[in-house]
Amino acid sequence: MTETGTLDRSTARSPAPPALGSLGLFTVLLGAALPLIDFFIVNVALPTMGRDLHASEAVLELVIAGYGVSYAVLLVLGGRLGDLFGRRRLFLAGMAAFGLTSLACGLAPTAWTLVAARVAQGAAAAAMLPQVLATIQSATAGQRRAKAMGLYGATAGLSMVAGQILGGVLVAADIAGSGWRSVFLVNVPVVILGLVLAARAVPETRSPNPEPVDGPGTVLLAVSLLALLAPLTEGRAAGWPLWTWLSLVLFPFAAAAFYAVERRADRQGRTPLVPPSLLALPSLRRGLVMVVPFSIGFSGFMFVIAVALQEGAGLGPVRAGLALAPMAVVFFVVSLCGPRLVARYGTRVVTVGGLIQTVGVALIALAAWRSWPGLGVAELLPGVAVAGAGQALQLPILFRIILSEVPPDRGGVGSGVMITTQQSALALGVATLGSLFLALIPGMGMRDALVITLLVQLAGVALTTALSLRLPRTIS
């Protein structure tokens, strides 16, 4: 009797885990959408920025690369700080900083000021975004967590397409003569709304056993990512100077040193920035391997199609953005069906999604070959709609698979690793497929350059589809 009573009282005293309500989920998803929208929103605004700020092509590429690289480099650190100091606190601080740096971008008087503000904006996004998935992991359970993860994946995919559409609309609208500046200034009222909602509806969570920041690991991860991403994003526009080749040579050595430091820390019982033991989870490891070619193809396509439609097909920013609207609509609708399909058919839904995306990209390439230079909304409609359906059956489910076995107390680290992988691959997509497309144009013309780039993307989609066969059949 006494032991039972003691157990009952102990259980009664244990605090219930914080719950993430519908308003709180909406708020963190809003925070997840902002950084992804801002990665893509500048694609259709770059020509206007270049004319207004008298910026060279290399500097304009830094507007994209500066944001993407600082974002990727600091994401895992942002996840660790959320585990340590509280995810709600870091989410609020990161969102406030994102609003301030967006204002700085919108008011930038020179191209180099804009680049500096974009680097700071990427750092702010890195503080905010990892807290979203970590909060979902810690403050939801069971079917509610599955639904929240599905909505996160739908939000992420939709944001990447919507960013490009929104950028075209805002530039063309030229609100109060703001031109391209409105693509950044639009964030400010959204951030204010998000801060008000987050203060009311997002519960505070943190790791019960937080570890101090892994200084050596943080530095080596930053060096590794910078050594890879900086030369690939800037090399072509800068003419491949000596520093780009030296940086690429440095990358494998920095990456090997990072892994050795992290493995030693893990073996000594400390929690490194990226624990190798976390990478031992099959669902996380195999999901991350799939995210890389998927994200490279996605971001490369978005950049290339924006350039091709505006500078090759002669479409304005609005029509270039709206050409992708069917992709956004279909992606959102199909992604909402994902959880039910996975519950019934397992992760083979991802394989089917890859096959559907293959058909969509092939239709886009065929449309470009047959209709150029009259490529427009009607010609692209079948391909982008089918591709959007395929992507919707891959990305949201992959996110859920990757984090399915990550313990809640490592939610910040797990989400940081996943988003860093995705963000680094997004930056690589612009650097590789974008550079390939721009390099082919002088010798082949824009139509052939576009078709060949799409065929290279098609090879990446095929790789993603093949890798999906190694995923666990069910999601825990």
Residues contacting residue 455 through CB under 8 Å, at least 6 positions apart? 365
Cβ count near 242 (within 10 Å) = 7
Reported as a pLDDT band with limits 50, 70 and 90, residue 324 is confident
Res. 50: pLDDT tops 80: yes
Rg (CA), the chain: 22
- Report the distance separating Cα 350 and Cα 373, nearest Å: 34
- Report the distance separating Cα 169 and Cα 46, nearest Å: 14
- Report the distance separating Cα 420 and Cα 425, nearest Å: 8
pLDDT of residue 3: 44
Q: Which amino acid is at 340?
A: R
DSSP states along 245-256: HHHHHHHHHHHH
pLDDT of residue 155: 85
Q: Mean per-residue pLDDT for 13-17?
A: 52
Q: How many residues does the chain have?
A: 476
pLDDT of residue 72: 80
pLDDT of residue 27: 93
pLDDT of residue 210: 67
Q: Answer whether 468's CB lies under 8 Å from 354's CB.
A: yes
pLDDT of residue 5: 47
Q: Mean per-residue pLDDT for 352-369?
A: 94
Give the 3-state DSSP-derived string for 311-343, with helices as H, strands as E and coil as C: HHCCCCHHHHHHCCHHHHHHHHHHHHHHHHHHH
Higher pLDDT, 95 or 171: 95
Cis check for the bond before 442: say yes or no (omega within 30 of 0): no
CA distances from 168 to 40, 46, 408 (A): 11, 10, 40
Structure tokens at 235: 């090399």
Residues contacting residue 394 through CB under 8 Å, at least 6 positions apart? 290, 294, 350, 353, 354, 357, 464, 468
Q: Write out pLDDT tens, residues 193-231.
A: 999 999 999 998 877 776 677 788 888 988 998 898 888
Q: Write out pLDDT tens, residues 24-45.
A: 999 999 999 998 888 888 877 8
Name the DSSP class of 18: P
- Report the distance separating Cα 295 and Cα 461, nearest Å: 10
- Report the distance separating Cα 302 and Cα 165, nearest Å: 11
pLDDT of residue 109: 93
Name the DSSP class of 374: S
Q: Which amino acid is at 179?
A: G
- Report the distance separating Cα 275 and Cα 196, nearest Å: 35
Res. 11: pLDDT tops 60: no
- Report the distance separating Cα 301 and Cα 186, nearest Å: 25
